[in-house]
Amino acid sequence: METIDYKLEAAKKAMTYVREGYTIGLGAGSTIAHLVKELAAVPALLKSISVATASFNTRLLLQEHGFTVRDVASLARLDIHFDGCDQFDRSLNALKSGGGVHTPEKLLAAMAQRFILIGDGAKYVEKLLPTVPVVIELIPDALSFVQQALLRLYPDARPQLRLSNKKDGAVITERGNLLIDIWFTAFPPVAEINPQLKAVPGILETSLFYHMAHEAIIAGKNGVTIVFP
Ligand code: 5RP
């Protein structure tokens, strides 16, 4: 039996949101990789849109497909930003950072007139669940201080410094920082997580995108659905 790639279906639907001349932001991951290829297949878009991305891998893919990639630092506004996520709920709160680039991804999401989450239905939950960690990016000098602060803030959680798959030390982000995956047994009230964590000096950003997305494109066995918060 032929299996349907729901991420590809979601990326195809995302194409209907794109107009010639747009300035577009793109996050990271395999769903976004599908979208890059779909965009590149339309010569009028390849010629006319400007793209910026949070991710080195997405940048390489865009360049391979002939896009000129804009420097994020030169932009303050995007017409639209697309990104995948690891989990999202009916209010479109999303947990991200499988790829460890949530800090620039959040910046692009905040710049966008429309921020659209795209992904497969398996990531959709009624209310966020602690089966996915909240990830923080922190400056390396803050490691011990932040670890202590996390123990005080969330005595029941398990914060884990993200280690490289090659077992040769910590993951270093594209901007030279560290990542800690905070595994909760139960989430504190979701509205409180970002203010609590961002009040700790040394923490740059969290992977919880709280009330940021304007829409989500979800593809699953019942077809493609658009969800609003
Ligand atoms: C990167 C992310 C990705 O969007 C997330 O991990 C989803 O990836 P994929 O599209 O491969 O399922 O959050 O920081």
Could you tell me the CATH number of the domain that includes residue 55? 3.40.50.1360
Same domain, 50 and 149: no
Report, as residue numbers or ranges, the catalytic residues: 105
The b-or-e profile of 38-74 (16+ CB within 10 A means b, else e) is: bbbeeeebeeebbbbbbbeebbebbeeeebebbebee
pLDDT exceeds 80 at position 13:
yes
Same domain, 84 and 152: no
Same domain, 112 and 222: yes
CB distance 101 to ligand 1 below 6 Å: yes
Same domain, 214 and 159: no
Same domain, 183 and 88: no
Same domain, 98 and 200: no
pLDDT in tens, 15-54: 999 999 999 999 999 999 999 999 999 999 999 999 999 9
Domain-embedded: residue 1: no
Residue 145: which domain range?
Answer: 134-206
Domain-embedded: residue 177: yes
Domain-embedded: residue 21: yes
Same domain, 221 and 119: yes
Ligand 1 atom closest to Cα of 32? 10
Domain-embedded: residue 76: yes
Specify burial of residue 182 (Cβ count, 10 A radius: 0-12, 13-18, 19+). Answer: buried
Domain-embedded: residue 129: no
**Which of 8, 9, 31 for a ligand 1 pocket mutation test, highest count of atoms within 8 Å of Cβ?**
31
Strands (E), 121-177: 134-138, 158-161
Same domain, 10 and 63: yes
CB distance 85 to ligand 1 below 6 Å: yes
Cα separation of 137 and 178, whole Å? 6
Number of domains in the chain: 2
Place of tokens 């709280």: 210
What's the 97 CA to ligand 1 centre distance in angstroms?
6
pLDDT in tens, 118-148: 998 999 999 999 999 999 999 999 999 999 9
Question: Looking at the predicted complex, does its ipTM rise above 0.90?
Answer: yes
CB distance 81 to ligand 1 below 6 Å: no
Question: Quick one: pLDDT at residue 159?
Answer: 98
Closest CA to 5 of 27, 25, 34: 34
Phi then psi for residue 222, to 5 deg, are -95, 15
Same domain, 98 and 197: no
pLDDT exceeds 70 at position 171:
yes
pLDDT exceeds 70 at position 81:
yes
pLDDT in tens, 100-122: 899 999 999 999 999 999 998 99
Cα separation of 173 and 161, whole Å? 12
Angle between helices 56-64 and 30-40 (to 10 degrees): 20
Domain-embedded: residue 37: yes
pLDDT in tens, 189-226: 999 999 999 999 999 999 999 999 999 999 999 999 99
Domain-embedded: residue 49: yes
How big is the CA angle at 193 (ends 7 and 149), to the nearest 5 degrees?
120
Sign of the CA dihedral with 68 first, then 108, 100, and 212 last: negative
What is the reported pTM?
0.94
What's the 119 CA to ligand 1 centre distance in angstroms?
9
Domain-embedded: residue 173: yes
Identify the CATH number of the domain in which residue 179 sits: 3.30.70.260
DSSP run (H or E) holding 209: strand 208-209
Binned at pLDDT 50, 70 and 90, residue 2 comes out as: low
Question: Quick one: pLDDT at residue 1?
Answer: 59
Same domain, 27 and 85: yes
Same domain, 105 and 30: yes
Q: Specify the 3-state DSSP secondary structure of 196.
A: helix
What's the 129 CA to ligand 1 centre distance in angstroms?
17
Atom 14 (ligand 1) nearest CA: 97
What's the 63 CA to ligand 1 centre distance in angstroms?
20
Please say whether the beta carbons of 60 and 174 come within 8 A. Answer: no
Same domain, 215 and 102: yes
Question: Quick one: pLDDT at residue 176?
Answer: 95
Question: Quick one: pLDDT at residue 3?
Answer: 80
